[in-house]
Amino acid sequence: MIAIGMEGSANKLGIGIMLHPNDGSPPQVLANIRHTYVSPPGEGFLPKDTARHHRAWVVKLVKQALKEARVSVDDVDCICFTKGPGMGAPLQSVVVAARMLSLLWGKELVGVNHCVGHIEMGRLITGATNPVVLYVSGGNTQVIAYSSQRYRIFGETLDMAVGNCLDRFARTLHISNDPAPGYNIEQLAKQGKQLVDLPYVVKGMDCSFSGILAAIDGLAREWGLGGEEKAKEDEQKNIQKSVITANEGLESTPTRADLCFSLQETVFSMLVEITERAMAHVGSKQVLIVGGVGSNERLQEMMGIMARDRGGSVYATDERFCIDNGIMIAQAGMLAYGTGFRTPLEESTCTQRFRTDEVLVKWRD
């Protein structure tokens, strides 16, 4: 069985082709390509621009994916697309493309929940059997555990997603959005040393990030660390720094790197804490981290220490599978397709709101 997966719920357009061999041997990734819409520093991606980007690239990427996978249209069994959750406009452009291909080629459609796609891809790549899942990205922050055919949400953010919090602070500091704002924050945070006091907001299994963002934005303003000029200044200083590092003592006023470091330490501690609670609650020893923020090495390290102290282990993937991609949609879609699930053309809509626990997970016991 071969499926094409089409993902475009945010600024990444991903097309993936997966093969599930009929003899039951492990699934294979035939193609996994992605094109990202990158906005200028200091700005986020707007729905209409992102949708325009996806419309412009989708045909090209599908053609390229088929070529890379060395399969013809006839070999394809079904077309899987992201039904939600996500930003409305980009979701729509991809669903229109999926519908068009379905009519053109006479293939059946499978609508996939984006979060379930992440979980299934993570399970496939890491081999974790029944983990507690921490799903962290620019749009989602959830702690999930599987129980009787549903991925149940144990804890989640009460306001913004953790990735959104990091991305927006990157905007405050005018950090580049290429390849991703969170990645650049991570690099800058490696130079940070001083921990700045920030709010720490965990309520039971839930957490909240908007107050932290407001607090750190305020600190950046207070110390004059935000904005374009400071970003340029920092770049120049970095060049000179290699010469004078030896003389540098500990500074009393925090730097931009210190703020990035403190933000990461604080929000990641919150995430590890709620994950640990969920593990204690369901008695699981495996943690799987998925989603774009999941590719952050500091988060993986902290989660690893926590899991080790509980006698368990952490499973994480790299950016190819963590960050939004097409194969995860193909993977989850094909699992559903195998149980007889189809999305008829007239129901092939998309939705911004589609909770993880709404999906009936028929392919697991």
| Residue 277 interacting with other proteins (CB under 8 A) | yes
Binding-site annotation: residue ranges for a divalent metal cation:
114, 118, 135, 324
Task: Judge whether 207 and 157 are in contact, CB under 8 Å.
Answer: yes
| Residue 325 interacting with other proteins (CB under 8 A) | no
CA nearest neighbour of 260 among 137, 343, 166, 360? 166
Q: Which stretch binds other proteins (CB under 8 A): 59-67, 97-105, 238-246, 270-278?
A: 270-278
Q: Report the residue count for the chain.
A: 365
**Phi and psi, residue 360, nearest 5°:** -85, 115
Q: Which stretch binds other proteins (CB under 8 A): 60-68, 98-106, 225-233, 304-312?
A: 304-312
Site string for other proteins, 142-161 (x = CB under 8 A): x-------------xx---x
Residues 305-324 interacting with other proteins (rule: CB under 8 A): 305-306, 309-313
The single residue among 167, 276, 296, 322 that binds other proteins, judged by CB under 8 A, is 276
| Residue 342 interacting with other proteins (CB under 8 A) | no
Residues 62-101 interacting with other proteins (rule: CB under 8 A): 84-87
Going by DSSP bridges, is the β-strand pair 150-156/108-113 parallel, antiparallel, or unpaired?
unpaired
Q: How far apart are CA 95 and CA 114, in angstroms?
A: 13
The single residue among 11, 93, 126, 141 that binds other proteins, judged by CB under 8 A, is 141
Q: How far apart are CA 62 and CA 27, in angstroms?
A: 20
The single residue among 66, 302, 327, 359 that binds other proteins, judged by CB under 8 A, is 302
Residues 6-35 interacting with other proteins (rule: CB under 8 A): 9-10
Q: How far is CA 208 from the centre of its chain?
A: 18
Residue number, 64 or 351, with CB nearest to other proteins:
351
Q: How far is the CB of 243 from other proteins (least distance, A)?
A: 30
Q: How far is the CB of 137 from other proteins (least distance, A)?
A: 6
Interacting residues toward other proteins by CB under 8 A = 9-10, 84-87, 114-115, 137-142, 156-157, 161, 195, 197, 200, 204, 265-266, 269, 272-273, 276-277, 279-281, 285, 301-303, 305-306, 309-313, 352-355
